Amino acid sequence: MLRYLTAGESHGKAILAILEGMPAGLTVDVNIINEELRRRQSGFGRGKRMRIEKDRAEVISGLKGNVTLGSPITLLTWNKDFSIEKLHKVICPRGGHADLAGFLKYGFTDVREVLERASARSTAATVAVGAMCKLFLNVFGINIYSRVVEVGGEVSREGITEKINSAMRKKDTLGGLFEVIAKGVPVGLGSYVQPDRRIDARLAAAFISIPGIKSIEFGLGIGYASRFGSQAHDAVYHSRSKGYFRKTNNAGGIEGGITNGEDLVLRACMKPISTLMDPLDSVNVVTKRPARAAVERSDICVVESAGVVAESVCAYVLADALLEKFGSDNLEDIKVCYKHYLNRVKKT
Ligand code: EPS
């Protein structure tokens, strides 16, 4: 079983993750993890914090030399902006953020106590975990990509850039739609035998756990609603060279909660960032009087970064499902098992 925990406040000392269940024998190139962290920080519309931080992962357990030991892997990213003890109090919660619900739930006197951990800064840890999982999946020829599909109704690169510029001018923010594609995924990850073993259920939970994600679609997604079954489903073919294959991939690579050997295609919608420079109405939680919501340093649009985070959680779910099917202690054992399985499938 693969599992991970993240820890760290946005302006605390560091952001970290402990990943447990990676098999022994995987060679880790930390530069590749750092490249993923850099990708998470980029994209048009990011805020000033991204000019302060240059996220890099330190692997402080689970490796000897650059090879995994099968023990928990700790991935640590130091924050340059370590100002949690000095930051001003927040008393006017932002609609759309965890501010008010978190403040009431935990009984704080300062809304900042909520936003420090609710911040999407924690996704640096998620991406470090995802990068480890990608390294593992690469051994089996599985690769994961993402792309921005739409921002604020615009689909072209120029249109999106202009839209983000206009949001910036209007002191507003934007969300959008992105797509994640996983290639080289074998048939047979996940299972229909229990609801919680369905790979689509696991991917959906992982995607929705990313801050700001409001919906996820597989393949045709909402497009299924307007089609006849005959236009919606992917017919099955077989050839000697390809084995079983489809000419279409409306299912997005998943049928019955199991990967079917086609590319995984997922789309997710991210809401606009909830910190607004021209803030919405709020209430001062001390006086209970009407006020404007707090203004914090923030981003304008992070759809591209959200795609990188989604690649990471997708990698985590697929790595977990692969380990579940093919063994989990030693990489060489897993490779033998995997090869045997692919041969059996080819002959079937
Ligand atoms: C983020 C770091 C944060 C925000 C953003 C994401 O840094 P700061 O709060 O110091 O500007 O830029 O967090 C949020 C959008 C949020 O809602 O908290 C990061 O590392 O991605």
Question: Which residue's CA is the closest to the ligand 1 atom numbered 10?
Answer: 49
% of the chain exceeding 90 in pLDDT: 97
Give pLDDT, residue 181.
98
Give pLDDT, residue 326.
97
Q: What is the mean pLDDT of each run of 10 residues along the chain (348 residues)?
A: 97 98 98 98 93 96 98 98 96 97 98 97 98 98 98 97 96 98 98 98 98 98 98 96 94 98 98 96 98 94 98 98 96 98 95
Give pLDDT, residue 282.
98
Enter the tokens of residue 145: 């990509």
Give pLDDT, residue 250.
98
| Sequence-separated (6 or more) residues with CB below 8 Å from residue 65 | none
**CATH label of the domain that carries residue 232:** 3.60.150.10
Give pLDDT, residue 81.
96
Ligand 1 centroid to 48 CA: how many Å? 9
Give pLDDT, residue 172.
97
Q: Is the CB of 39 under 6 A from ligand 1?
A: no
What domain count does the chain have?
A: 1
Give pLDDT, residue 98.
98
Summarize pLDDT for 172-206 with one digit per residue, the tens: 999 999 999 999 999 999 999 999 999 999 999 99
Q: What is the model's pTM?
A: 0.97
Q: Phi and psi (nearest 5°) for 225?
A: -60, -30
Summarize pLDDT for 29-39 with one digit per residue, the tens: 999 999 999 99
**Is residue 259 within 8 Å of residue 193, measured between CB atoms?**
no
- Nearest atom, ligand 1, residue 302 CA: 15
Q: Is the CB of 54 under 6 A from ligand 1?
A: no
Q: Is the CB of 134 under 6 A from ligand 1?
A: no
Domain that holds residue 21: 3-347
Give pLDDT, residue 213.
98
Give pLDDT, residue 263.
98
Question: Which residue's CA is the closest to the ligand 1 atom numbered 20?
Answer: 121
Ligand 1 centroid to 218 CA: how many Å? 28
Q: CA end-to-end span of the chain, whole Å?
A: 29
3-state secondary structure the chain: CCEEEEECCCCCCEEEEEEECCCECCECCHHHHHHHHHHHHCCCCCCCHHHHCCCCCEEEECEECCEECCCCEEEEEECCCCCCCCCCCCCCCCCCCCHHHHHHHHCCCCCHHHHHHHCHHHHHHHHHHHHHHHHHHHHCCCEEEEEEEEECCECCHHHHHHHHHHHHHCCCCCCEEEEEEEECCCECCCCCCCHHHCHHHHHHHHHHCCCCEEEEEECCHHHHHHCCHHHHCCCCEEECCCEEECCCCCCCCEECCEEECCCEEEEEEECCCCCCCCCCEEECCCCCCEEECCCCCCCCCCHHHHHHHHHHHHHHHHHHHHHHHHCCCEHHHHHHHHHHHHHHHHHC
Q: Which of 196, 248, 250 is nearest to 219 (CA)?
A: 250
Give pLDDT, residue 248.
98
Ligand 1 centroid to 161 CA: how many Å? 20
Ligand 1 centroid to 122 CA: how many Å? 9
Summarize pLDDT for 327-341 with one digit per residue, the tens: 989 999 999 999 999
